[in-house]
Structure 1
């Protein structure tokens, strides 16, 4: 009796765990038992594997088959284990050379006809296998390009179970099959969006540049047609390219979410996510049965999460954003386990001044009652808005207004500002001013306490919280970086306070 062994990878969040797949075949009544804490989708692999083996021209062993996924205490989910289970079972039956399958990682879902179907999360799974010392990986051909993005991986693509079995010495005919292509949805910003397309709105343009330069969150309030959506969609074009480490991390998130196209290589540009206001909390922050999947907030990691008509989102959705805004990651707990996903994004909120959108100027055209206005903006709670650094009010745009600078010119200033921050924050865990704790910034303001006099007055008036003071200082440092100064001046602090408190959210 031979014990068939091979390897697979279980993903919990973005963290991959190498799983040993063991198959024991006993001379008893035919049965198939799968153990090792599988979820419902994984438990169904018994039927998929049985049908795929028979369709591939391989004999199904008439014995009692027990497949163990070790470590047994680790939650395992999805159909990614199908190929590994089939190979381990065939190795235990000596239909393939059992020694050649040992130490090889197998990833892929099996169709009933024996074809290999692409699966999600191949990039982080292969990266985990290589890091654990198992560079040899067999994946569906539709995932091969994605697997080859991992340095050091010896990835092999296959179209069918018969092809994999033949590679391990099985006497089986490899049929000509049409490979199953992976389906991917793109979340990248639409091409050709330039800031010059926005007419007028100089204050909003300045706020957008400051937000891009320091990684700050932004709220824009204004009547319909003032360019809020256009401005938000152009923010990713002002951001610098992702670093190599960020590109791998962002790509891994999109691989798990199923929104990554491996034909274009690693995601080098900051992502842009704009969920509809009818989105559920699970679709925004992540969720699902079993081990939760990443939502829009994680897919926007190192990019922009835009909530248009923000007060129309449910309170549950808006409140769930407070954790990632503060910590830069999401921890999703379920009965099957907890998953961590990175979620350090720039939040951009857009809102009308009232439900009808006409409460501008004297508000003579507004038909909303006072309680309707309060209820409308009441969705944007104080704790949420307290985490938004920039709050700007947009007025109606005038026809024939002048177009502003192009995105390329603004992006160059943003890149120079980010470079200055990188030098100042070298050796710290922070990258942008928006991430730096207030105590660290205050310690570098110098002995001139008059810089914060205006902030102290705002706190005394109750228009600014202590958290708000820290966020004003972060914006002040960004304004100083844009101006080429080593530290904020009093004018920078005053302008940062104005950028925070002149909007409706103040």
Structure 2
């Protein structure tokens, strides 16, 4: 007897429907799985056999062939256990219900018949919905994640026996409720606030600009000046995530297996801070079974690299392409995967090995060759891709003792949200979200400047020896400053402020 059950497989963040065809015929008892299964799928035959027997059903002692169609694409993951087991029971005449063909199934089986949680549920559910499936069966522990998606009915079960009883009409089950899950996960606020940072008003202004326009930022300063403290409070002033952004971020975290049993939608912007010993594969993504790296896990959020020169140079150089293209392409012998990487790069560093070059209160003990060698770990092309280079000075004792409080993150965020709203409305039909994503064609349309602004830019270009990329980034930065100030047109003051955020490399790169 032949049975056909539907499921899905992943290729990066994209899913494709898989038909699980099961045929039971006379012959020597055997269970064969065909259709390019990987090792995990091949091993499922033992899990299926034990799960069916331990759930109280009889395992057919006949020749069983399971085909995973289309047969020319590789099938990976243990989530095909459940559809294969149900296909086998359907072919054996246990279920006897044609409505099973209206459902798609995802789940891993334990030997006792329990349905285990799997990774990548969100992109799998989205792919199934896009292919016309609006009823999907998932493990209980994945129900909250799958129920995020609109126009889909999610049914969750804890074991194989319950599913069979459901399709035999012996028990009832209702779709998982979507609304309550999302409301529960939206209650997540950052505990770190800019009001805790004393002084550094100029740096806070720079972070406000970076948050409003999605600009990369590099802080240079001696130890104890507050670089890490400022960076860790940066997420508290980032614009609120839209539903579409939250879905895209959750898809990446789902594939990476970072969602807990009780979380569904990621509603706070990611903050990733890898250690400086990280490898290039861990940063960019890859591996034998390619997974998203830190640049993708920071999608629509922040990638914070503390003590930038301590990272290996070859690791830093792989950041060039994701910063520029906002995607990461991983090529392997079995195919090519693409992960998104629209992140804000926040980096910090000391100006020299001892950390006190240029500090008025401490004597630097480094020689010029040592300083040059230390700073040369960061290449010019990478530095050129960072929009803002700002110098962080130590806080004075009088500032620490001052009773007057600093602006809170909420106050700073209000201006950021206002500027981001302007950009969303402006670029509604352009396919971008913020100013740092502007391409040359769109810059000519939305970043028009007058003669006075052009003269200032030309003087800065010639005097500072700027590259064409740095020139364009100053214009994008000026556009963001104008948006924060509520100005429709870029003015000289906006250009001047943007230029000052590009001057630190001149001081420190020529010790």
Which TM-score applies when normalising by structure 2? 0.90
Q: Distance in 2 between matches of 1:376 and 1:447?
A: 39
RMSD over aligned CA atoms reads 2.4
Shift of the alpha carbon at 1:127? 1.6
Shift of the alpha carbon at 1:166? 2.5
Tell me if the contact between 1:390 and 1:499 (Cα under 8 Å) persists in the aligned partners: yes
Alignment of 1:239 with 2:238, yes or no, is yes
More moved, 315-324 vs 142-151: 315-324
Alignment of 1:305 with 2:309, yes or no, is no
Q: Give the 3-state SS of the residue equivalent to 2:236 in structure 1.
A: helix
Q: Distance in 1 between matches of 2:508 and 2:457?
A: 18
Q: Distance in 2 between matches of 1:106 and 1:397?
A: 59
More moved, 459-468 vs 80-89: 459-468
Tell me if the contact between 2:222 and 2:359 (Cα under 8 Å) persists in the aligned partners: no
Alignment of 1:84 with 2:83, yes or no, is yes
Change (3 A) 1:23 1:316: farther
Q: 2:450 aligns with which of 442, 448, 451?
A: 448
Q: Give the 3-state SS of the residue equivalent to 1:69 in structure 2.
A: strand
Alignment of 1:411 with 2:410, yes or no, is no
Shift of the alpha carbon at 1:350? 0.9
Q: Distance in 1 between matches of 2:448 and 2:211?
A: 26
Partner of 1:341: 339
Tell me if the contact between 1:391 and 1:505 (Cα under 8 Å) persists in the aligned partners: no
Q: Distance in 2 between matches of 1:434 and 1:445?
A: 12
Tell me if the contact between 1:389 and 1:475 (Cα under 8 Å) persists in the aligned partners: yes
Q: Distance in 2 between matches of 1:490 and 1:459?
A: 15
Partner of 2:252: 253
Q: Encode CA deviations 1:119-154: one digit per residue, 9 max, x unaligned.
A: 111112112112211111111111111111111211
Q: 1:330 aligns with which of 325, 328, 345?
A: 328
Q: Distance in 2 between matches of 1:306 and 1:275?
A: 7
Partner of 2:47: 48
Aligned length, in residue pairs: 490
Partner of 2:149: 150
Q: Distance in 2 between matches of 1:489 and 1:308?
A: 34
Q: Distance in 1 between matches of 2:226 and 2:370?
A: 24
Partner of 1:175: none
Shift of the alpha carbon at 1:362? 6.1
- Any stretches of 5+ residues in structure 2 without a counterpart? 172-184
Which TM-score applies when normalising by structure 1? 0.91
Q: Distance in 1 between matches of 2:335 and 2:498?
A: 42
Change (3 A) 1:55 1:126: same
Shift of the alpha carbon at 1:499? 0.7
Tell me if the contact between 1:6 and 1:88 (Cα under 8 Å) persists in the aligned partners: yes
More moved, 493-502 vs 162-171: 162-171
Shift of the alpha carbon at 1:423? 2.9
Q: Distance in 1 between matches of 2:70 and 2:315?
A: 36
Change (3 A) 1:356 1:32: farther
Q: Distance in 2 between matches of 1:317 and 1:105?
A: 41
- Any stretches of 5+ residues in structure 1 without a counterpart? 173-185
Q: Distance in 1 between matches of 2:306 and 2:458?
A: 33
Q: Give the 3-state SS of the residue equivalent to 1:67 in structure 2.
A: strand
Shift of the alpha carbon at 1:405? 1.0
Q: Distance in 2 between matches of 1:4 and 1:43?
A: 19
Q: Distance in 1 between matches of 2:90 and 2:449?
A: 73
Tell me if the contact between 2:141 and 2:261 (Cα under 8 Å) persists in the aligned partners: no
Shift of the alpha carbon at 1:446? 4.6
More moved, 472-481 vs 293-302: 293-302
More moved, 125-134 vs 356-365: 356-365
Q: Distance in 1 between matches of 2:170 and 2:62?
A: 21
Change (3 A) 1:162 1:278: same
Q: Encode CA deviations 1:180-239: one digit per residue, 9 max, x unaligned.
A: xxxxxx9x9983111011121222111111101111010011111111111111111111
Tell me if the contact between 1:332 and 1:338 (Cα under 8 Å) persists in the aligned partners: yes
Q: 2:498 aligns with which of 491, 496, 499?
A: 496
Shift of the alpha carbon at 1:19? 0.7
